[in-house]
Chain A
Amino acid sequence: MEAQLHVLKTEALEKIAASENVKELNGVRVAYLGKKGPITDLLKGMGKLPAEERPKMGALVNVVREEVTASLEERMALLEEQAINEKLQSETIDVTLPGRPVQTGNAHPLTRVVEEIEDLFISMGYEIAEGPEVEKDYYNFEALNLPKGHPARDMQDSFYITEDILLRTHTSPVQARTMEAKGGEPIKIICPGKVYRRDNDDATHSHQFTQIEGLVIGEDIRMSDLKGTLSVFAKKMFGDEREIRLRPSFFPFTEPSVEMDISCFKCGGSGCNVCKKTGWLEILGAGMVHPNVLEMAGYDSKRLTGFAFGMGPERIAMLKYGVEDIRHFYTNDVRFLSQFQRTEV
């Protein structure tokens, strides 16, 4: 019987080892360890043995059963792992295929520039003021020290609708309106918006374009405050290394008037094609608010002074992004617009 047991054991262990999958192995389990299997039969047949041999044989059968069970479980674990691996293998995907596209649009580059400037000044305590695009001659010119017949009106040939109504040529009328509405109180505003001039559209001119202007009025506002404010603007907008330079200029609504250049952000000031070899880029016009403008809006120009500045988002976008033709901003070619998707921060 002992010999029979040994053969059984050898046979079972061979079959376990030969099992190639979980199902086959379960078959082996049932065949050898099941209720109708040979080991159970052996245990049942123990009654026929002499009483003194029974404990010894019983122990022997149990050992064989445990050995077979252990081998079976070990094999089972191995086969299960193999099965999982095979499944994972079969589920493998090509991770280099493109992802499902998320349809996103983006802001127009001019909006991007305008909002960047707005946010920058909002952080310095400015509010955003807006006004009509179709304006009275009074707010567009007269309230800004440009009476009828003033030679500087030639600088901005305008689209008139009637003798007294026109498409605004700058966003300055918003300043004039704000001053009138504030009734002599201090002001800190930014005025963005569309403006119109009688120009033929070409690579550098557009009959419609964008402007963003700023106005600060308060007690003892000095020209140094203008310089400091513009310097903060230039560094935040174009980088910490930017230097600014003021040049005398002329605007009827400011006195003194200046143009502001920044050191070229492409070459750092050594001269390149962007700055036309000068190292400087002309960015905006500014000045101290002309006393006539203050007085017309009801401000006491002896007590309150102010500064104003204005710039063209088109020009800034052209410089910043290297756009060579202003018409790109108004044809809305999606191959152009969609390039302004990503952040620069």
Chain B
Amino acid sequence: MLVSIKWLQEYVDTQGLAPADLGEKITRSGIEVDAVIDRSHGMTNVVVGYVKECVKHPEADKLSICQVDVGGETDQIICGAPNIAAGQKVIVARPGATLPGDIKIKKAKLRGEESNGMICSLQELGIESKLVPKAYAEGIYVLPEEAETGSDVITNFDLDDTVLELGLTPNRADAMSMIGVAYEVGAILSEDVKLPEISYTEAADSASSLLTLNIDAPDANPLYVAKVVRNVEVKESPMWLQQRLMAAGVRPHNNIVDVTNYVLMEYGQPLHAFDYDSLKTGNITVRHAKEGEMITTLDNAERKLSAHNLVITNGEEPVALAGVMGGANSEVSASTTTIVIESAYFASGSIRQTSKDHNLRSDASSRYEKGVDPNRVIPAAERAASLIAELSGGEVLSGSVMFDALDKEEKIVTVSPDFINARLGMKISFEEMMRILKRLKFNTEAINGQLVISVPTRRQDIQIEEDVVEEIARLHGYDEIPATLPEMETTPGGLTPYQHKRRIVRNYLEGAGLLQAITYSLTSSKSAQQFALAKTEMTRLLMPMSEERSTLRQSLLPHLLESVSFNTARRSDSVALYETGAVFLKTDGELLDEEEHLAVAMTGLWLDNAWQGEKKSVDFFVLKGIVEGLAAKLGVALEFERGQMDGLHPGRTAYIIKDGNRIGVIGQLHPSEQAARNLKDTIVLEMNLAVLLNAEPEALLYTPVPRYPSMSRDVALVLSKIVEAGSIENTIRNAGGKLLKQVRVFDLYEGDNMEEGKKSVAFSLTYFDPEKTLTDEEVTRVHEKVLSALKDAGAELRS
């Protein structure tokens, strides 16, 4: 909502406050002032000029040489506008003038001809193009004949004004009008509000002699008023009206349409003017549209209607989309002589639906959607009739054509002062509360110590006691509220074990060298399931903004890998990222199964100690080590077994198993996947983190520190290449029994000296007895068992 302060002052005294100070007061009281706009934009030295003579420039087709009376003297000014002509009153920026954008006007020579200033368009005065009347959109603005030559344009045409731009929250529909804002300012400043005076002379003929009315949808349209004005002259509105509309962000059209818009801005009540003769039938019928019925609206769009759209018809065909936009077939034009002014109350739900169906929002529909004041529908019609009579020379037919079934009663809200103070934690006196309610112009009676408030219908947001609490508090001042802390039973607070472990996981991964990434949950249907551990039916948005963000992800890796590619494309060659977040799986339930996952993606160097010559690229085992460490940290047992997944290297992929269930996958990207993503060797992990976080580890009990020494034996084995170290380790553990404390791979050799298809793996075995020092013989006895088990398993002992 754009509020011209000059206009506002018609209704309320702003006590001479500077616009910025007034804006600050409004903001602090509840309606945010987003901007304070100086309409003069610092302009100086701009006057009304009279074009005495206008001839073509001999050297340039598009330029005219004008002799302009600027009040007492005549200056030659060159003008490039196509619509310049002798006899016009125009806006002249004189030499030395400043225009918006800090443009300075100087004397100049154009193609050899002197030019003493500039004849201006409205755009050059800082008015947005979309607000300039269409007739002047491409050229200079032509002032009415009565404009006084030489007078100051800035003051004469109300450009010495400031506009407050209000950012209205949906509850404050009352402030979508100048009068509404005046009530708010009046409450803030303790000032009265002065309403416009309505007076016109009625013709002897009555409106009902020309017009009949049928309301077929009284629920959606409980109040309809029509006034008829005849013998109107459709022409340009006077300057003051045009300026006020432009200040309010509305483009002037003609005096009839401008008055309906003016009253809309003034009262917040949408109005529409029909050309009576175009209606043809002398009838207005409000009904729901027939399915498939067509209307061409004022924006020249042809619209197909459905049964829940409310339409105004002439008894036969639609002439307006009720409360949203008029129809082209009944539009007021230059030849119009008789008009019908419509002022109506339409139910907000109906208007919202129509507005949504046709993706069409107007100043009218946005007000109806939020609810207009039932008590302003009739006064707004009267106000429009009086202004149109005044500006168009028309005569208003007596009476109105009206249907009225609308409840216009004020709502009574009863609230006790104690309730207000208890909610606020304050001690505001009863008298102060009464004073505030008076400033709001809420009629209030004190009955048995209670405040019995008749809430004006303009304030539809005041429904319950708490709403009154807010009104009292905001006008008393939020700064007055003391700062206390809740008085309630103290609670320990804290994280759940799950949340606590999630932080442990993050800290561990960060300590291990990974940076935390956060990516989007919405992705394309193409990548929603890539690297998914379990694929379910995809979940798509009803109306995605793009295919890229259309589907909920079932794995974290695709976006995490996009982040890695983003980095490597920017010459960050070594990237190690992790992310924890939900993946979204379909279930039989109403909602989705949101499974918390952990993903890791690593590429480039893992260790880079440049000057000491140590470099190590990331590989499968770097990430596996991180996962193993994580499992150890959480006290969870994980196993790894050879696995397969699309997009991963078939020989370098493992499933992560917990309690026999696959909970994750770890591997190197498939070379073709790497190429497609412009990546070098990249190691990835996708794992169900929730399973890890939900696992309850055993209680931590210390084992006594060994009192007796342990003994180590090494064994080097020649194995077939396809035999996995893990299976050999199991063989060793099974044979070693309880004296075998530790088995560790300490060497792997697959080099040239090995027989084809063989590899050498060396294990270090540690034997230990917590009860005594083991003898060499005791160790040998067990170790022999291990060796024979290894031989049985096909391992060849290496000497």
Contacts and interface: CB of A to CB of B under 8 A. Distances in A.
Contacts of A218: 486, 488
Contacts of B369: 151
A290 B466 contact: yes
A161 to B, nearest CB: 6
Given A111-B516, A224-B425, A246 B481 contact: yes
A261 to B, nearest CB: 10
B499 to A, nearest CB: 6
A219 B486 CA distance: 9
Interface size class of A (residues with CB under 8 A): 35 or more
Contacts of A160: 541-543
Nearest to A150: B170
A161 B506 contact: no
A133 B567 contact: no
Contacts of A23: none
A125 B170 contact: no
Contacts of B337: none
A123 B493 contact: yes
Contacts of B514: 105
B609 A100 contact: yes
A186 interface: yes
B590 interface: yes
A86 to B, nearest CB: 26
A151 B370 contact: yes
Nearest to A259: B32
A188 B590 CA distance: 28
Contact of B552 (A134, A198, A219): A134
A307 to B, nearest CB: 8
B32 A247 contact: yes
A333 B510 contact: no
A211 to B, nearest CB: 14
A103 B517 contact: no
Given A100-B612, A105-B516, A225-B485, A207 B545 contact: yes
Contacts of A68: none
Contacts of A106: 510, 515-516
A130 B690 CA distance: 14
Nearest to B421: A222
Contact of B486 (A118, A216, A332, A338): A216
Interface stretch (B128-136, B290-298, B305-313, B468-476): B468-476
B473 A250 contact: no
A191 interface: no
Interface string B624-659: 000000000000000000000000000000000000
Interface stretch (B112-120, B397-405, B576-584, B755-763): B576-584
Interface in A97-129: 97-98, 100-101, 103-108, 110-111, 115, 118, 121-128
Contacts of B591: 132, 134-136, 165
Contact of B611 (A97, A126, A227, A259): A97
A271 to B, nearest CB: 13
Contacts of A188: 486, 488, 491, 493
Interface stretch (B23-31, B81-89, B138-146, B738-746): B23-31
Nearest to A257: B470
Contact of A228 (B483, B510, B572): B483
A153 B345 CA distance: 22
B608 interface: yes
B612 A223 contact: no
Q: Which of B173, B423, B487 has the most CB of A within 10 A?
A: B423
Contacts of B57: none
Contacts of A136: 590-591
Interface string A76-106: 0000000000000000000001101101111
A333 B518 CA distance: 11
Contacts of B493: 121-127, 188
A256 B352 CA distance: 27
A232 B172 CA distance: 31
A229 interface: yes
A288 interface: yes
Interface size class of B (residues with CB under 8 A): 35 or more
B423 A223 contact: yes
A165 B590 contact: yes
B474 A256 contact: yes
B482 A224 contact: yes
B413 interface: no
A223 B539 contact: no
Nearest to A292: B464
B566 A331 contact: yes
A149 B352 contact: yes
Q: Which of B169, B469, B496 has the most CB of A within 10 A?
A: B169
B660 interface: no
A133 B460 CA distance: 34
A154 B607 CA distance: 52
Contacts of B572: 333-335
B521 A208 contact: yes
B609 A101 contact: yes
B521 A127 contact: no
Given A111-B506, A161-B542, A250-B172, A255 B466 contact: yes
Interface of A, secondary structure class, is mixed
A330 B518 contact: yes
A220 interface: yes
Contacts, number: 246
B607 A108 contact: no
Contacts of B540: 161
A325 to B, nearest CB: 15
Interface string B495-518: 110010001001001111111111
A207 B522 contact: yes
A200 B652 CA distance: 40
A343 interface: no
Interface string A148-180: 011110110001111001010000000000000
B424 A224 contact: yes
B592 interface: yes
B244 to A, nearest CB: 27
A55 interface: no
B594 interface: yes
Contact of B30 (A186, A247, A332, A334): A247
A104 B486 contact: no
B556 to A, nearest CB: 12
Interface string A302-335: 0001000000000000000000000001111111
B486 A132 contact: no
A128 B499 contact: yes
Interface string B582-604: 10100000111010000000000
Contacts of A152: 169-171
B470 A247 contact: no
Given A134-B594, A208-B520, A231-B483, A154 B515 contact: no
B563 interface: yes
Given A161-B540, A222-B424, A338 B515 contact: yes
Contacts of B28: 247
B491 to A, nearest CB: 4
Nearest to A152: B170
A107 B520 CA distance: 17
Contact of A255 (B469, B609, B612): B469
Contacts of B425: 222-225
Contacts of B582: 133, 194
Contact of B466 (A122, A135, A248, A256): A256
Given A208-B522, A232-B485, A248 B478 contact: yes
26 contacts: A100-B609, A101-B609, A103-B606, A122-B493, A130-B499, A135-B591, A154-B170, A160-B541, A162-B542, A198-B545, A207-B520, A207-B522, A216-B486, A222-B422, A222-B425, A224-B484, A228-B482, A246-B478, A247-B32, A248-B30, A248-B473, A248-B478, A256-B470, A288-B469, A290-B466, A338-B515
Interface of B: 27-30, 32, 169-173, 348-349, 352, 369-370, 422-426, 464, 466-467, 469-470, 473-474, 478-479, 481-496, 499, 503, 506, 509-522, 539-545, 549, 552, 563, 566-567, 570, 572, 575-578, 581-582, 584, 590-592, 594, 606-609, 611-612
